[in-house]
Chains A and B, each alone.
Chain A
Amino acid sequence: MERDSASLRVGVYVGEGASHSWTWFVDLMEKYAYSRLRLIQEDDFPRLAPEQDILLMSGGDTFAVARALEPPGARALEDFLQRGGLYIGSCAGAYLPLNSSKAPLDAFNFVKCRINNLTRDLPPVHQMPLKFSTRYGCDYIYHPVREDVRVRMEEDFPIWGGREVSVPLYGGPPLNLSEDIVPRAFYTGFTERTRFLTEKEIAETVYLGKVAACEKSFGKGRMVLLGPHFEHPWFPEGNDIIHQWIEWHVHPERPAVNTEMGRKPGKKKKQRVRKGVLAPQIQKDFKREISNMRIRAHAMTRQSVHWQIGAKVYEPEKIVHFVDAIWKRLEGTRSPSSGTPSKGLQEVLVEQAAECNALLKSLTSKVDSREDSEELAGEMFASLRALVVAFLGVYFNGEEIRGQ
């Protein structure tokens, strides 16, 4: 494995089943200047071990991810770990490697650890019923709280040991202690921003004292599982914990990170992102499409609408989120000259944006006229995801645009 963290080869899974939260990992990697970033899809898994040092698996639809990766994907993941890879999974990325008897999840039985939010009898739901539970055989995986929770890093852990931080929870697991894992953080409480979807007492029983973050070694590699989204960009402490975890994994020989209370989080590194990759006119054309999408998407957030795509519920906010992942990086893409990627490649990007914009416009129209828009929403989100992946590929590496 490379020893210089800035030169680590980091893969972020963006394939089937990944929700918008993979962009948070991208943000985090950019923030800490992990410049060798690659967006990984299911068909990249066979080359995982030789090509990546770190794999980041975000939230989404765990079943859909497992279905897309298939058993060969699981074997590729195992090989990756055995050869020294670091897997960091949050939310769905934490559920994925837990033991399961149900296909297709049973191909990913890496960690013998039980979740504490499984029930046969759902308690009454007070708000956000669509976010409250997911069917799991005869049982339900349920989520008594959302938004901010407090977690305390394990006392002896060299990263932020003994310190308590707030991190956001969007359906991630509370894990029971098991000999199979090394617990690194526990759920300790809630905050004013915690949303209780059911009785507070039930939430306390489900989460408090349970494992929020843990790890397990595999050969030379390591698997890190995070219930909450430590990578969320609004939670710099959580971000720093992930960054330091990576550093610690890469440099175990270095003295442990000082975890004294009050110590400032690790320093943000200077960004080293490739910029100026789009020719001026193409950048403008691309910006126009993205701006029109942005306006339309923001407007849609004022409507009460959602779509069930696979096992996940999508709202217009997720469109905004994806579009903003492009928007906030646009200014850095305007090249004074013709740009790095071929002009043809750049034009494809504009065409892809225009197609996505047209789908969004049709979706708006269907929503306005109260027609069934679920299928079109699925198509639009797939197109949008592909567009963001294509753009970020160009933004970070000047890579070829992948097909949808």
Chain B
Amino acid sequence: MDIENAYMGRILVADLNEGTCEEEELTEEMVKEHIGGAVINLALYKQHVDRNPIVFGTGLLTGTFAPSSCAGVMTGKSPVTGRVCHVPLSWQTAVELKYSGYDFVVVLGESDKPVRLWLHDELAELADAGEVWGRDVWQTTDKLRYEHGDDYVQLIGIGPAGEKGCRIAQISEGAWGSRDVFGMGLAMGARKLKAIAMRGLGSLEVADGFFDECLEAQQELRKGASFEKQGLVALLEALGVDAADLEPIKQKVHRHVASFNCAYAANTFLMIDEPPGLLKESKKDEPGLLLTDPAGVISLLFLKEGLPVVLREINRQGLDPVACGALLKKEGVAEAGEAVKRVQALAGEEVDLEDAGVENVYGIAPWPLSEALEARLIQAVSVFSHAVPLSPLGGGWADVSVGENPVERAQWWLDRMAVSSILGICPIAALLSPEFTLQKMAELGAKAVDWDELTEEALLKQARKLVQETHALDEANGTVPSSWASADLDGALEKLRQGWEG
């Protein structure tokens, strides 16, 4: 195995109590045992469980030529649900992490003063974050990029919501939110960890023939029907959102942007303070916002024309747009100006969605379009972020050779998410491209590191082990909400669990 084709070989352990950064070696044995990504995250989580760690990790293929190899994963215990969760990182974040010289970062303990991590060129520095503590996500991003002199510095950070103990605080990847629906922004805030800034000028070795194989795979993916379109709006249409509801967004679309090496441009930039047809650089500091999270947009659609400005404020405050949408709707706040003010206030409140009467907020609510049993099953397992759509994108279930059995459908989704989180494949791309089979992903992984034993079967085995072990940690904590209990759910969940053991 040529591990240097996939990993930098370093694990960083940042102890916030001690203010230290120590390096450990990511060994070939670890990769052989766990493959990568979320499975290694979980192993590191268990290793340090008495310090309530947060683990940031990269997949085996993250940052390689493999299609959609933009993803990483954050693993930790949600301060809201008490469950261990795996939050996907996309955009450029995980790629930057790996290229900064660290494959995995374990954050231990809590600091007594605001701190930030600066990762660059195989160096890790825990620095004082006094200058950015109290600043919103955008200000923090700007300030740290200025401090390090490079707009390509990527960040995982929090806004005022995470600092102030808000339970719907979200981590933000750069300026544009994330798929964290587990309140991990609060987890970072409680540790007084304001941000992890990363800049990587490193590089990976490339196996003979790997580039050509990736290029071929990418070209194959592009033949798929989904790739005739682009942008987040098209994804929402594929999910069945009413076209009329999307009209206010469509009118503001400026451009579509792909995450690192993704064949599908899944992010859409909206112009707010400038005409959407603008073809020159705006003189305004930030004239719009990037939509990255379909779940958040769905939750806020009721705001109609007001959606972009409210979502912009949600991003700045470092809040979960899914939860904000549910809460604003429950409170009947639909006017944009009023909603912006409410969002600003929310960042300073503890916010308990169950107390607020928001139904199933950590269950089915983010996806109001579907209450199908498979969707409830997925969320009952609650290992991966349900800000990622809970079904195949593009052609739907018909495209992916899975029948109507909800247990099989849930298992298909869990397998896709788990494998993506292990290899570092964008979870949206994994749902969008039935052509990108698990077998193909395994082949690319095997080719990348010259490791014949990485087969589809081996990958699936690790994927199911990941779900099972993460889920088992949840059960140990006794955190499955009783409100989810129902005859059909309980029976199906049991069948699903039996499948993992089989």
The reply on A292 being an interface residue by CB < 8 A is: yes
The reply on A287 being an interface residue by CB < 8 A is: yes
Let me know if B201 and A298 touch, CB within 8 A: yes
Give per-residue flags for B84-114: 1 if the beta carbon is below 8 A from chain A beta carbons, else 0.
0000000000000000000000000000000
Minimal Cβ-Cβ distance residue in B for A331: B122
Let me know if B201 and A284 touch, CB within 8 A: no
The reply on A382 being an interface residue by CB < 8 A is: no
The reply on A364 being an interface residue by CB < 8 A is: yes
Residues of A within 8 A of B149 (CB): 292, 295-296, 299-300, 360-361, 364
Let me know if A299 and B125 touch, CB within 8 A: no
Q: How far is the CB of A295 from chain B (nearest CB, A)?
A: 5
Residues of A within 8 A of B152 (CB): 299
Let me know if B151 and A295 touch, CB within 8 A: no
Minimal Cβ-Cβ distance residue in A for B124: A288
Let me know if A295 and B125 touch, CB within 8 A: no
Let me know if A299 and B123 touch, CB within 8 A: no
Q: CA separation between A227 and B146, bound complex, in Å?
A: 41
Q: How far is the CB of B118 from chain A (nearest CB, A)?
A: 9
Give per-residue flags for B134-170: 1 if the beta carbon is below 8 A from chain A beta carbons, else 0.
0000000000001011111100000000000000000
The reply on B199 being an interface residue by CB < 8 A is: yes
Let me know if A287 and B148 touch, CB within 8 A: no
The reply on B121 being an interface residue by CB < 8 A is: yes
Q: How far is the CB of A12 from chain B (nearest CB, A)?
A: 27
The reply on B120 being an interface residue by CB < 8 A is: yes
Let me know if A294 and B123 touch, CB within 8 A: no
Give per-residue flags for B153-195: 1 if the beta carbon is below 8 A from chain A beta carbons, else 0.
1000000000000000000000000000000000000000000
Let me know if A299 and B150 touch, CB within 8 A: yes
- For window 348-365 of A, CB contacts with B under 8 Å fall at 360-361, 364
The reply on A291 being an interface residue by CB < 8 A is: yes
- For window 115-137 of B, CB contacts with A under 8 Å fall at 120-121, 123, 125
Chain B interface size, under 10 / 10 to 19 / 20 to 34 / 35 or more? 10 to 19
Q: How far is the CB of A324 from chain B (nearest CB, A)?
A: 10
Q: CA separation between A291 and B152, bound complex, in Å?
A: 15
Selected from A291, A361, A364, the residue in CB contact (under 8 A) with B120 is A291
Q: CA separation between A298 and B153, bound complex, in Å?
A: 12
Selected from A288, A361, A364, the residue in CB contact (under 8 A) with B123 is A288
Let me know if A284 and B150 touch, CB within 8 A: no
Residue of A284, A291, A360, A364 with highest tally of chain B CB at under 10 A:
A291
Minimal Cβ-Cβ distance residue in A for B152: A299
- For window 278-304 of A, CB contacts with B under 8 Å fall at 284, 287-288, 291-292, 294-296, 298-300, 302
Selected from A284, A292, A300, the residue in CB contact (under 8 A) with B148 is A292
Q: CA separation between A243 and B234, bound complex, in Å?
A: 61
Q: How far is the CB of A204 from chain B (nearest CB, A)?
A: 38
Residues of B within 8 A of A291 (CB): 120-121, 123
Selected from A295, A302, A360, the residue in CB contact (under 8 A) with B199 is A295
Residues of A within 8 A of B146 (CB): 368
Q: CA separation between A294 and B202, bound complex, in Å?
A: 12
Q: CA separation between A296 and B120, bound complex, in Å?
A: 12
Residue of B123, B125, B148, B149 with highest tally of chain A CB at under 10 A:
B149
Q: How far is the CB of B480 from chain A (nearest CB, A)?
A: 45
Q: CA separation between A302 and B121, bound complex, in Å?
A: 20
Let me know if B148 and A294 touch, CB within 8 A: no
Minimal Cβ-Cβ distance residue in B for A357: B149
Residues of B within 8 A of A295 (CB): 120-121, 148-150, 153, 199, 201
Give per-residue flags for B15-54: 1 if the beta carbon is below 8 A from chain A beta carbons, else 0.
0000000000000000000000000000000000000000
Minimal Cβ-Cβ distance residue in B for A288: B123
- For window 159-201 of A, CB contacts with B under 8 Å fall at none
- For window 251-299 of A, CB contacts with B under 8 Å fall at 284, 287-288, 291-292, 294-296, 298-299
Residues of B within 8 A of A287 (CB): 121, 123
Give per-residue flags for A354-387: 1 if the beta carbon is below 8 A from chain B beta carbons, else 0.
0000001100100010000000000000000000
Q: CA separation between A250 and B149, bound complex, in Å?
A: 48
Q: How far is the CB of A321 from chain B (nearest CB, A)?
A: 14
Minimal Cβ-Cβ distance residue in A for B101: A291
Residues of B within 8 A of A361 (CB): 149
Q: CA separation between A291 and B99, bound complex, in Å?
A: 13
Residues of B within 8 A of A364 (CB): 149
Q: CA separation between A360 and B149, bound complex, in Å?
A: 9
Residues of B within 8 A of A300 (CB): 149
Residues of A within 8 A of B151 (CB): 299, 302
Q: CA separation between A298 and B120, bound complex, in Å?
A: 13
Residues of B within 8 A of A298 (CB): 150, 201
Q: CA separation between A360 and B148, bound complex, in Å?
A: 11
Let me know if B201 and A294 touch, CB within 8 A: yes
Q: CA separation between A26 and B125, bound complex, in Å?
A: 32
Let me know if B123 and A284 touch, CB within 8 A: yes
Residues of B within 8 A of A294 (CB): 121, 201
Q: CA separation between A274 and B201, bound complex, in Å?
A: 26
Residues of A within 8 A of B201 (CB): 294-295, 298
Q: CA separation between A296 and B149, bound complex, in Å?
A: 5
Which are the 4 A-B pairs with shortest beta-carbon distances? A296-B149, A299-B150, A291-B121, A364-B149
9 contacts between A and B (CB under 8 A): A291-B120, A292-B148, A294-B121, A295-B121, A295-B148, A295-B199, A296-B149, A364-B149, A368-B146
Known pairs A284-B123, A295-B201 / 4 extra A-B pairs, C-beta < 8 Å? A295-B121, A295-B149, A295-B150, A295-B153
